[in-house]
Structure 1
Amino acid sequence: MAESGQMEKFDSKRDEWDSWSRRFDQWLSISSYATGDNAADKKRAVFCTLIGSDTFKLLCTLCTPKRPEEETYDDLRAKLSKQFGVKKLVLAERYRFYSYKQQDKQSLAAYLSELRRLASTCQWAEAALGENLRDKFVMGLRNERLLQQLLTQDHSKSLDDLFQLATTFEAAESEALKRSEGESQTSVTPINSGKHPRSKSRTEPPRKRTQQPSTGQFSKEQTRTNCASCGGNHARKSCRFYSAKCHKSHMISSCSHISVR
């Protein structure tokens, strides 16, 4: 980047000739090269220096059989403008203009600036340029709510009017969003507040205690269901085989060789 008061050299791989040459004229107008004795020679000399070595070689070829030093500044500039100037295809330039839309996170000012740059090669008259810029500014907006708001405006409003409305709308929407987020944060109880919330005790219903039979009941029931004489469901003392004796390994009730006392 050039220091203050200096002009960068032209680089055909980086710079557009039309833009650079116009900047050179602006820089030349505030420098000492455009005034005083031999101003024409000084303008030509500084021009040949700042176009860079590669472009100067090209200029020498374009001036053949003359040398650049024998030409005027205006003639030298005209030769390079013809060489670097690319004829724009108007329909293609307008297509690029109409196809452009506001990019993600692109501000309204940056969006409008890019539209102006694209429109500069569309060759519209001044009146048509302003109207087309205004219409395209609205059509290419990303914010749907803003788009709907601007579509309700009268068509007589200018680009500046709609741009002002758009910036006001976005500022108000941004402020409302900040307030909403602030209210949401204050309504939430902080986790690390220094106090531990009381945990709710989980009250479990009392368990039912199964009533155990008394010793007497248990013994009586066991006696009833386990008659040692016949295996029947009664007390052994009331069994008719209570006094029966058998030396075999089977139940007394099924024994045919028993003696009852």
Structure 2
Amino acid sequence: MDSGTLKLLEKQQAMMSSLHETMANQKAQRKEELEQQNARHREDLDQQRAQHKEDMAQQKLQHEEAISQLAQRLSPGASTSEATALKFDSFVKSKEKWDQYLQRFNHHLAIYGISNMEKKRACLLSWVGPETYSLLRNLFGAADVSAQTFDALTEKLSTHFKDSIHVQAARYEFYNCKMQPGQSYADWIATLRGISKDCNFTCSRDGCDQSYVDEIMRDLIIKETPHADVRRHCLTQTNPSLDDVLKVAATYVRTLETDRVIQGESSGKDTSIVNKMTGSYQKGKKPSKSNQGNFPERLKSCSRCFIDHQRKDCQYRHAVCQKCGRKGHIKPMCACLPNLVSRNRSHPSISAQCRSSPSTSINYIDA
């Protein structure tokens, strides 16, 4: 090789050596930076673990202290000073009556063992709410509310709210309280009793003050019940009590439910409609004009029994009529009966069955 080539090779080797040295330095520097980052990260994690452990220990102490305080409040032997009662809700006239609020307030104080009259007065004035507190100031006028006793405050409010009750308005609400759809008789009675507290249903004779609210409720239930069978059964008794009426209603409701279970009616329809119809055909009596003109319009769809379902699903499709002897319908739907002849023209299957019946006279017998 000539001298020029040798110099070029030496120069390249020097450059390669410098490049390897630079890369080694960069690699070492990068490794050092990663080690420093890992060290800082481990230090941060250790600090976070220590802080979390300290926070958990502090929360545990706070929970134990809170449980200890609550146990002291609820303990039977806790003194009045130790039993710090939780705040009670304010009185809102539109949500509940004053006598009910006062009863709940006294129960709340009894839970925490507060019997000191001065503390009861302070709790009442603090918790009763700004509206009622302002009312107390107006009722006492120039007198200082804070100087009044607990009994004086509650008596003043009780008198005020009692005088504001309008007896006639309460009685109007009572007499217009109807049984709502889906409401039970027990819930209806509870609602009526709640309204009757303001109706003053007591004897006005001197020295009597006997309540006759049960008799008023009995009369209202008999008059306003949506179940005619309950009303009829109660009217068969000379002077039934409220308990007697409720027993009749309870028996009627249980009977309906049992009948629905037996008939497999899950839709909630009244399956006793056929019994109501057959009950109008009593022995030796003709159907009344009111029955002749009313129930055919209420019953529709099925020509065999007039209950609202398809004729192919009727349970009486294979029944034998006790009036005409034909198969396919029951006696109350027989076209031979005068009050149904004109009504069954839309059901030619029944009319054709009974048109050739040899019976010419009508005998009303039990089905």
TM-score band (shorter)?
0.5 to 0.7
Separation in 2 of the partners of 1:62 and 1:121? 22
Give the CA RMSD over aligned residues.
Answer: 2.9
Contact persistence 1:103–1:142 (CA under 8 A): no
Separation in 1 of the partners of 2:265 and 2:229? 23
Matches within 5 A, 1:127-166: 127-155=211-239, 157-166=240-249
User: Residue 169 of structure 1: CA displacement?
Assistant: 1.6
Which of residues 33, 42, 46 in structure 1 aligns to 2:114? 33
SS at match of 1:32: coil
Which of residues 176, 180, 186 in structure 2 aligns to 1:103? 180
The aligned counterpart of 2:170 is 93
Identify if the C-alpha distance between structure 1 residues 12 and 119 changes in structure 2 by more than 3 Å, giving closer, same or farther.
closer
User: Residue 30 of structure 1: CA displacement?
Assistant: 4.5
Identify if the C-alpha distance between structure 1 residues 131 and 13 changes in structure 2 by more than 3 Å, giving closer, same or farther.
closer
Matches within 5 A, 1:67-216: 67-125=144-202, 126-155=210-239, 157-181=240-264
Per-residue Cα deviation, 1:16-59 (whole angstroms, up to 9, x for no partner): 2233123323444444112xxxx111110111122013322333
Contact persistence 1:150–1:166 (CA under 8 A): no
Aligned amino acid, residue 91 of structure 2: F
Separation in 2 of the partners of 1:115 and 1:20? 20
Contact persistence 2:233–2:248 (CA under 8 A): no
Aligned amino acid, residue 263 of structure 2: S
Identify if the C-alpha distance between structure 1 residues 182 and 55 changes in structure 2 by more than 3 Å, giving closer, same or farther.
closer
Structure richer in helix, relative to its length:
2
Separation in 2 of the partners of 1:84 and 1:182? 50
SS at match of 2:221: helix
Identify if the C-alpha distance between structure 1 residues 55 and 89 changes in structure 2 by more than 3 Å, giving closer, same or farther.
closer
- Structure 2: any 5+ residue segments left out of the alignment? 1-73, 75-84, 203-209, 267-308, 314-367
The aligned counterpart of 2:294 is none
User: Residue 81 of structure 1: CA displacement?
Assistant: 3.0
Separation in 2 of the partners of 1:104 and 1:28? 40
Q: How many residues align?
A: 178
Identify if the C-alpha distance between structure 1 residues 26 and 152 changes in structure 2 by more than 3 Å, giving closer, same or farther.
farther
Identify if the C-alpha distance between structure 1 residues 127 and 61 changes in structure 2 by more than 3 Å, giving closer, same or farther.
closer
Matches within 5 A, 1:5-44: 7-34=88-115, 39-44=116-121
Q: TM-score under structure 1 normalisation?
A: 0.58
SS at match of 1:164: helix
User: Residue 75 of structure 1: CA displacement?
Assistant: 1.5
User: Residue 176 of structure 1: CA displacement?
Assistant: 0.4
The aligned counterpart of 2:126 is 49
Separation in 1 of the partners of 2:250 and 2:154? 42
Per-residue Cα deviation, 1:148-191 (whole angstroms, up to 9, x for no partner): 22222331x3212221221122111111022113699xx96xxx
Separation in 1 of the partners of 2:230 and 2:110? 44
Identify which of structures 1 and 2 has the higher relative contact order when contacts are C-alpha pairs closer than 8 Å and 6+ apart. Answer: 1
Separation in 2 of the partners of 1:27 and 1:164? 37
Q: TM-score under structure 2 normalisation?
A: 0.43
The aligned counterpart of 1:227 is none
Aligned amino acid, residue 174 of structure 1: E
Contact persistence 2:223–2:231 (CA under 8 A): yes
- Structure 1: any 5+ residue segments left out of the alignment? 189-261
SS at match of 1:54: helix
Aligned amino acid, residue 153 of structure 1: Q
